[in-house]
Amino acid sequence: MSFLSSTTLESAPSDVKRPILKVTALRKTHQTAADDLTVLMDVSLSLDAGDTLAIVGPSGSGKTTLLGLCAGLDDASAGSVELAGLALESLGQDARAALRNRLVGFVFQNFQLIPTLTAIENVLVPLELRGESGGQAEAKKLLTEVGLGDRLDHYPLQLSGGEQQRVALARAFIHRPKILFADEPTGNLDSGTSGPIVEMLFDLNREAGTALVLVTHDPALAAKARRVVTMSGGTIVSEEENGAL
């Protein structure tokens, strides 16, 4: 798969050892009518640029909450998240949004395409939000590479789950992120469909040096990451490195 073979990459492999993500003593508590519910408790981890990390664990262990906090999608109750050297808690919502637009890509379990936009329009949104124009050719190329060259003007409802996820991947790559967060990227897909998606994700990591954070239940997918952290009850209970990687 030479998914990104023709793109010019901004990040060089020499960046590899610098931490792109640093999480320190992160805590998240939800206030309920009855009591306070702590879903994440003093979690710390670090990820170097170009590295890959899989977060695994049972449902309700805090994986998705951790991913959301790392990407600045939510506010932590305590602790700190540094993304590309910037402490997210010191940034306002709009500054975090700008940072995401500059550095972060997303792939969600439920695809999260904008239903009123066509496939190519969905892919172009990150560029348009940067104020960049003229990205149509690039978007078309990306969609062609994911096998949707003939579905450019289709709306999400007119695409299957696998096709929607491929559009989401093209959208995640179009602005060349430094880090990509993927929440159960194959959770809604069968094994036949999920294989190419996983391949594309790791191609990006290898070829563009994009760090990859994966939340998954799938041991096979987790095994592809260099590091695997296992969560349970809101804390990290183990961390392993896959020597093969």
Partner 1 sequence: MEHSKHKVLPRSLWTALFHPWVWRMAWRDSRSQRLRLVVFSLAIVSGIAALTAIHSLKASVERGIAVEAKALLGSDLRVSSRKEIGANEIEKLAGMASQVSRETSFPSMMRFLPDGGARLMQVRGIAGGYPFYGKVETRPVDAWNKLRDGGGVLVEPAILDQFSAQIGDEVELGGIRLRILGLVDKPAPRGNRFSGFAPEVYVNLADIERSGLLTQNSMAGYQVHLKLSGGQASRVLKERVRDEFPDTRWRLETPEDRRENLGDALDNFQKFLGLIALTSLALGAIGVAGAVHAHVTRRIQTIGILRCLGCPGYMAFGIYLAQAMALGLLGAILGAGLGIVMQMGLLVALDDELPISVAPSPEWKIALQTTATGFAVCCGFALLPLMRIREISPAVTLRSGGSLKGGFLRSLPIYALLVGLLVMVAYGNDPNWRRALAMVGGLTVAFLALVAVARGLMEVSRRVLAPRWPYLIRQGVSNLHRPGNQTLLFLLSLGLGTFLLVTILSAGKLLNGRLNIQQSEESPNLYLIDVQPDQVAGVEAVLEAKELPVMESVPMVTMRVQSINGVEVGEATGVPRWVARREFRSTYRDSLNLTETLIAGELASERADPNGIVELSLEEKIAKDLKVGIGDEITMDVQGILIRTKVTSIRRVDWSRFNLNFFMVFPPGVLEDAPGVNVVTTRTPTPAASGELQRELAGQFANVTAIDLTLILETVRDLLAKISTVITILAGFTVLAGLPILIGTLLNGRDVRLKESVLLRTLGASAKQVRIILVIEYAALGLLSALSGILLAVVANGVLATFFFKASPWPDAGLLLAAFGTVTMIAVLGGLALSRGVCHHPPLEILRGGS
| Position 59 contacts partner 1 (CB under 8 A) | no
Name beta bridge partners: 239. 229
> 31 or 133, CB closer to partner 1?
133
Please state the closest distance from residue 126 (CB atom) to partner 1, in A. 5
Please state the closest distance from residue 233 (CB atom) to partner 1, in A. 19
CA distance 52 to 122: 26
In order of 51, 58, 129, the CA distances from 86 in angstroms are: 18, 30, 21
Encoded one letter per residue, x for contact with partner 1 by CB under 8 A and - for no contact, window 109-148 reads -x-xxxxxx---x---xxxxxxxxxxxxxx----------
DSSP type of residue 9: P
Nearest of 242, 243, 236, 189 to residue 57 by alpha carbon: 236
Encoded one letter per residue, x for contact with partner 1 by CB under 8 A and - for no contact, window 176-205 reads -------x----------------------
Please state the closest distance from residue 194 (CB atom) to partner 1, in A. 19
| Position 106 contacts partner 1 (CB under 8 A) | yes
Neighbours of 150 (CB within 10 A): 9
Encoded one letter per residue, x for contact with partner 1 by CB under 8 A and - for no contact, window 156-175 reads -x-------------x----
Cα 242 → chain centroid = 20
> 143 — phi, psi (to 5°)?
-65, -35
Would the CA dihedral through 65, 71, 77, 79 be positive or negative? positive
* Region from 18-26, 60-68, 80-88, 198-206 binding partner 1, contact rule CB under 8 A: 60-68
DSSP type of residue 8: P
Tell me which residues touch partner 1 (CB under 8 A).
7-8, 64, 67-68, 71-74, 93-94, 97-102, 104, 106, 108, 110, 112-117, 121, 125-138, 157, 171, 183
